[in-house]
Amino acid sequence: MIIYIARRLAQSVFLVFGAITIVFLVLRVIPGDPASLILGSQATAEELEAKRQELGLGDPLLAQYFRHLGEVLRLDFGESWRLGGDAFANVLERLPATLTLAGYALALTLLIGFPLGVHAARNTGKAVDRLVSYLSLTGQALPSFWVGIMLVLIFSRMLDILPATADGTPLALVLPAFTLALPFLGWLARLVRNGTLEELGKDYVRTARSKGLSERVVFNVHVLRNTLTPVVTVLGLVLGNFIADAVIIEQVFAWPGIGSLMIESIVNRDYAVAEAAILLIAIFYIGLNLAVDVLYFYLDPRITLETV
Amino acid sequence: MVSTYNRRGFLKISGIGLASAYLAACSVGGGDSGAAANALKAAFAQPVNDLDPHGPSSVDESTLLAGRLIYDTLIRRDGDKLVPGVATSWEQTDENTWVFQLRDDVTFHDGSKLTAGDVKASLERVKDAGTAQSALWTSVSAVEAETDTTLRITTSEPLGTMPVNLTLMFILPAAKMNEPGFFRKPIGSGPFRVDGFTPSDELRLSAVEHWGGKPKLDRVTLPYIPETSSQITALRTGELSALWPVPPDQLRELEGLDEIRLETIPSYAYYFNWFNCGREPFTDPRVRRAMWRAVDVAGIVKNLFGDGAELMTAPIPSTVFGHAPQEPYRHDPDAAKRELADAGLADGFRTSLMWFSDTGPLADALAQAMISDWAKIGVTVEPQNVEKAEWLRRLNAKEFDMDLQINTVTTGDADFTLGRLYDSDADRMGYRNPELDTILRQAHRDSDRGRREELYSRACKIVWDDAVGMFPAALISTYGLRSTVEGFEPAASNQPDLRGVTLAS
């Protein structure tokens, strides 16, 4: 067990290192640099060159890379040229908003998706079952930025019952969280439905029924608990997806999270902020994956070191 | 059975996790009473990234907008007049010396007094900042605070634009401006104090006693909403009380609504389409003029922008000091073809047009409309819609055939664009004209309004007749205001003075 965790941990560290390297390279390979954005469209070649030297962009790429690695280890990404102040602090300041959005979306996914899936499993072929199929299909097929804009048009502009942008009230969470949750809602419902059906066909259910247990007890005590296990582990991955998907949703709803910060920092070649934000998201994603893997191991004793 | 126990334990933990996520969700924002009476929530279309008025964002409209509310300047702009700010009077004692008399009743938000020493420190800071605004101050050689209320600025060569440039020079407290973290909650002497600031997200201000009178509003919140449709929705539902500038293609979403008033003002922003005059075939002015005649500029501006822009009559907008109307280029594809033939290009040629989508409203549509008109005279133009950073790099390196972009005359004075872009030394688009250089440099040095006006009218004519670029549309800013908002005066600079705004309940 400990060996397994240690091995996965080592792999994760390697992944984070890879993410740092790729982000560093991609940001510097794409044309345009902070010097030209700082000085604007009327800069002279000399001014640009001086600014590049000042920012350390004139050094060889390898030297810049090693300096960057040192910075990352100290969690000091340097100053944001565009926002002023420490880049990592700027990103951390925006983190709670993204986590709140992701947490709320996760709650919505569970509270709607799970009961819907169970209900569909108990009513196979009926209306609710078909609804789950449609929901999971359309939810995943519709691009979320489009869904977001449509929801704003319907619920804010036409019906005027929910705010269109983050105005500081809890109500402002409803539309962005729902938009974020929609693709996973139907997906979770399908997962629960299929898992439940599979469990219902197993021997222990027949045994329980033959013992004379009521259908309610069979379902709630035996079947549901077994269905829940894979679902719970999968939720970790969903949460990771939420944090990554929030990049688009935050833009639509003016949500002050790290997603919108990241987009603007890339467009404006604010390397320090972009690197800090992407690294944070990568660590979240990798961390959640690691947690899920460990959980599998923990929850299902049949998984051994040989089988993983 | 151990695993069952573990699973149950785990489910409990995940239940707790969920509950806490829910609680966290409910606690966001909390009791922000932004909707309280006398608090204005207004959105400008661009984010305020940095409150440092001398830093990398020093000529961004959004930073200037915030700066006007938080800080003071020596001289202010009121319509097209320059009026006293912290300086009560100023005189040019010789062509390289300016002396300013300052008010002695100006205090910063922390209660300390604003003196000539603060102005000196601020001007020296912006001059040495190495940012876009620093270029305005290169000829300043010395700044002396003779007394607390007398300031002397010496220049190495005459700077006729001194007064107008000073409308951009925000005064910071010398003792505090270099403290780390100062610009997260900066202290100025303007009519509003900073309550809170999240870069590129939201700026919260509250009114203070000001030498120019206390603002009628108590509080102002300036959120940034990136998505246009969300901006419009927020104004329509009353989440916002004011929004500007409304993009031309969104105007009809706000027209004819009782609760929303639209006010317009011609702005300092305009589109130009530069020809790289250092590259074949645009070295030949006949080719450049033919390109202009080939495009139905009047039709395109009217159809695309409607009330959102006006047809330009000079290489700078009509709102800018130094504007002098010129003879329009009439749409005439046949004449354009003849001119191309005269230049030895009877069969047309291939070239490219570079722009980035966010440069201004309807940039993509404008580019496409021009490209299809050029195709009709046999000129094949490859559209190069690039990203902003790449566009900037290529612009600065002069790696383009044609460049379509928005330009803003930030100071409202022709020197800011004509003087800085079309001088041979600036070398922005390969155009060289010694006669124009002489005119522009004279106008830059002179401080006499009448003479400058005359010089810029000659400069306008040269740039226009030589077709250094095409000058299609000057933008008209539309301000969307809720009917409850009173006393809100639209500004050509997009930086409205909010001191007189009131909110009816």
Residues B204-210 have a mean pLDDT of 96
DSSP B114: P
Contact B227 A252 (CB under 8 A): yes
Does one domain contain both B368 and B493?
no
Does one domain contain both B373 and B490?
no
pLDDT at site B31:
37
Cβ neighbours, 10 Å, residue B179: 11
Query: Order of strands, edge to edge, in the sheet holding B150-155?
Result: B87-94, B97-102, B150-155, B140-147
Does one domain contain both B108 and B10?
no
Q: What is the 3-state secondary structure (H, E, C) of B376-440?
A: CCCEEEEEEECCHHHHHHHHHCCCCCEEEEEEECCCCEHHHHHHHHCCCCCCCCCCCCHHHHHHH
With contacts defined as CB-CB under 8 Å, which chain A residues touch B36? none
- Residue B41 pLDDT greater than 60, yes or no: yes
Does one domain contain both B230 and B310?
no
In a domain, B56, yes or no: no
Residues B223-244 have a mean pLDDT of 92
pLDDT at site A242:
86
Per-residue pLDDT reduced to its tens digit, B379-423? 999 999 999 889 998 998 899 999 999 999 999 999 999 998 999
Q: How far is CA B417 from CA A84, B139, B407, in A?
A: 28, 17, 8
Per-residue pLDDT reduced to its tens digit, B159-196? 999 999 999 999 999 999 999 889 999 999 999 999 99
Q: Which of B141, B161, B190 is the last residue of a domain?
A: B190
Query: What is the amino acid identity at position A304?
Result: T
Query: The CATH number of the domain where B251 resides is what?
Result: 3.40.190.10
Of residues A234 and B260, the one with the higher pLDDT is B260
With contacts defined as CB-CB under 8 Å, which chain B residues touch A168? 28-30, 32, 34
Beta bridge partners of residue B309, listed in sequence order: B475
Does one domain contain both B330 and B385?
yes
Does one domain contain both B233 and B293?
no
In a domain, B51, yes or no: no
Quick one: pLDDT band at residue B16, thresholds 50, 70, 90?
Answer: very low
- Residue B36 pLDDT greater than 70, yes or no: no
Contact B25 A48 (CB under 8 A): no
Chain A CB within 8 Å of residue B186 CB: no
Which stretches of B271-325 are DSSP H helices? 285-294, 297-305
Only one residue has tokens 């009559």, namely B313
Q: Which residue in the set B11, B25, B234 is minimally distant from A104, CB to CB?
A: B25
- Nearest-Cα distance to chain A for B235, in Å, is 10
In a domain, B287, yes or no: yes
Tell how far CA B422 is from the center of its chain. Answer: 19
Q: Which residue in the set A42, A54, A251 is minimally distant from B421, CB to CB?
A: A42
- Residue B17 pLDDT greater than 50, yes or no: no
> Which among A33, A37, A38, A82 is the top mutation candidate for probing chain B, defined by the most B β-carbons within 10 Å of its own β-carbon?
A82
Residues 6+ positions from A56 with CB-CB distance below 8 Å:
A64, A67
Q: Which residue in B429, B78, B474 sits closest to B301, CA to CA?
A: B474
With contacts defined as CB-CB under 8 Å, which chain A residues touch B426? 42, 44
Query: The CATH number of the domain where B117 resides is what?
Result: 3.90.76.10
pLDDT at site A124:
85
> Which among A157, A220, A226 is the top mutation candidate for probing chain B, defined by the most B β-carbons within 10 Å of its own β-carbon?
A157
Enumerate residues 338 to 367 of chain B having a beta carbon within 8 A of any beta carbon in chain A. Answer: none
pLDDT at site A81:
85
Chain A CB within 8 Å of residue B239 CB: yes
Chain A CB within 8 Å of residue B29 CB: yes
* Strands B309-311 and B473-482, bridge-based pairing: antiparallel
Contact A164 B239 (CB under 8 A): yes
Smallest CA–CA distance from B418 into chain A, residue: A42
Q: Which residue in B153, B136, B157 sits closest to B145, CA to CA?
A: B153
Does one domain contain both B134 and B234?
no
Contact B11 A254 (CB under 8 A): no
User: Rounded to whole angstroms, how far apart are CA atoms B72 and B75?
Assistant: 9
A47's enclosing H/E stretch is: helix A45-54
Average model confidence (pLDDT) for chain A? 86
Chain A CB within 8 Å of residue B315 CB: no
B279: buried, middle or exposed (CB in 10 Å: 19+, 13-18, 0-12)? middle
Q: Report whether B234 contacts A164 (CB < 8 A).
A: yes
In a domain, B423, yes or no: yes
- Residue B303 pLDDT greater than 80, yes or no: yes
The rounded percent of chain B whose pLDDT value lies above 90 is: 81
For B3-10, the CB contacts below 8 A with 24+ separation are: B3/A299, B3/A300, B3/A301, B6/A298, B6/A299, B7/A225, B7/A229, B7/A299, B8/A225, B10/A232, B10/A295, B10/A298, B10/A299
Q: Output the six-digit token pair for A48.
A: 């640009």
Contact A168 B34 (CB under 8 A): yes
Residues A128-151 have a mean pLDDT of 88
Q: Output the six-digit token pair for A70.
A: 């040192």
- Residue B355 pLDDT greater than 70, yes or no: yes
Query: The CATH number of the domain where B444 resides is what?
Result: 3.10.105.10
Q: Output the six-digit token pair for B277.
A: 């005059």
Lowest mean pLDDT among B101-105, B128-132, B234-238: B128-132
Does one domain contain both B217 and B293?
no
The rounded percent of chain A whose pLDDT value lies above 70 is: 96
Q: Which residue in the set B3, B55, B393 is minimally distant from A31, CB to CB?
A: B393
With contacts defined as CB-CB under 8 Å, which chain B residues touch A232? 10-11, 14
Quick one: pLDDT band at residue B19, thresholds 50, 70, 90?
Answer: very low
Angle, alpha carbons A58-A59-A64 (nearest 5°): 120
Residue B125 φ/ψ, nearest 5 degrees? -65, -45
Chain A CB within 8 Å of residue B178 CB: no
In a domain, B54, yes or no: no
Task: Establish, for the pair of chains A and B, how many residue pairs have beta carbons separated by less than 8 Å.
Answer: 196
**DSSP string for residues in A91-107:** HHHHHHHHHHHHHHHHH
Does one domain contain both B464 and B440?
yes
Does one domain contain both B410 and B487?
no
**How many angstroms separate the first and last alpha carbons of chain B?**
67
Per-residue pLDDT reduced to its tens digit, A244-285? 788 888 888 888 888 888 888 988 889 999 999 988 888 888
Residues 6+ positions from A118 with CB-CB distance below 8 Å:
A192, A193, A196, A224, A227
User: Rounded to whole angstroms, how far apart are CA atoms B245 and B494?
Assistant: 8
Q: Which of B190, B210, B234 is the last residue of a domain?
A: B190
Quick one: pLDDT band at residue A305, thresholds 50, 70, 90?
Answer: low
Chain A CB within 8 Å of residue B395 CB: yes
- Nearest-Cα distance to chain B for A136, in Å, is 23
Rounded (to 5) percent helix, strand, coil in chain B: 35, 25, 40
- Residue B67 pLDDT greater than 90, yes or no: yes
Q: Which of B190, B208, B225 is the last residue of a domain?
A: B190
Q: How far is CA B475 from CA A27, B132, B308, in A?
A: 34, 23, 6
- Nearest-Cα distance to chain B for A267, in Å, is 7
pTM for the predicted model, two decimal places: 0.84
Q: Is B120 strand, coil or helix? A: helix
Q: Output the six-digit token pair for B377.
A: 């005279």
* Strands B349-355 and B402-408, bridge-based pairing: parallel
Total structural domains in chain B?
3
Only one residue has tokens 């700066």, namely B67
DSSP E strand boundaries for B176-291:
192-198, 202-207, 219-223, 242-244, 260-275
Query: Please, what's the largest Cα pairwise distance for chain B?
Result: 96
Quick one: pLDDT band at residue A302, thresholds 50, 70, 90?
Answer: low
- Nearest-Cα distance to chain A for B418, in Å, is 12
pLDDT at site A50:
84
pLDDT at site A263:
87
Q: Which residue in the set B2, B29, B59 is minimally distant from A40, CB to CB?
A: B59
Chain A CB within 8 Å of residue B225 CB: yes
Contact A82 B50 (CB under 8 A): yes
pLDDT at site A199:
86
- Residue B3 pLDDT greater than 60, yes or no: no
Lowest mean pLDDT among A6-10, A226-230, B211-215: A226-230
In a domain, B211, yes or no: yes
What is the interface pTM, i.e. ipTM, of the complex? 0.78
With contacts defined as CB-CB under 8 Å, which chain B residues touch A84? 50-52, 55, 183-184, 199
Quick one: pLDDT band at residue A180, thresholds 50, 70, 90?
Answer: very high
* Strands B349-355 and B473-482, bridge-based pairing: unpaired
B353's enclosing H/E stretch is: strand B349-355
User: Rounded to whole angstroms, how far apart are CA atoms A97 and A243?
Assistant: 11
Q: Output the six-digit token pair for B115.
A: 């003196």
Chain A CB within 8 Å of residue B83 CB: no
Containing domain of residue B130, as a range? 63-190
Does one domain contain both B247 and B312?
no
Residue B311 φ/ψ, nearest 5 degrees? -65, 135
Average model confidence (pLDDT) for chain B? 90
Contact B396 A33 (CB under 8 A): no
In a domain, B222, yes or no: yes
Contact B29 A235 (CB under 8 A): no
- Nearest-Cα distance to chain A for B31, in Å, is 8
Enumerate residues 425 to 454 of chain B having a beta carbon within 8 A of any beta carbon in chain A. Answer: 426, 428
> Which among A51, A91, A154, A165 is the top mutation candidate for probing chain B, defined by the most B β-carbons within 10 Å of its own β-carbon?
A165
Does one domain contain both B428 and B418?
yes
Q: Report whether B310 contacts B474 (CB < 8 A).
A: yes
Per-residue pLDDT reduced to its tens digit, B263-297? 999 999 999 999 999 999 999 999 999 999 999 99
With contacts defined as CB-CB under 8 Å, which chain B residues touch A254? 223-227, 230
Chain A CB within 8 Å of residue B32 CB: yes
Helix axes B434-445, B449-465, angle to 10 degrees: 160
In a domain, B149, yes or no: yes
Residues B131-135 have a mean pLDDT of 85
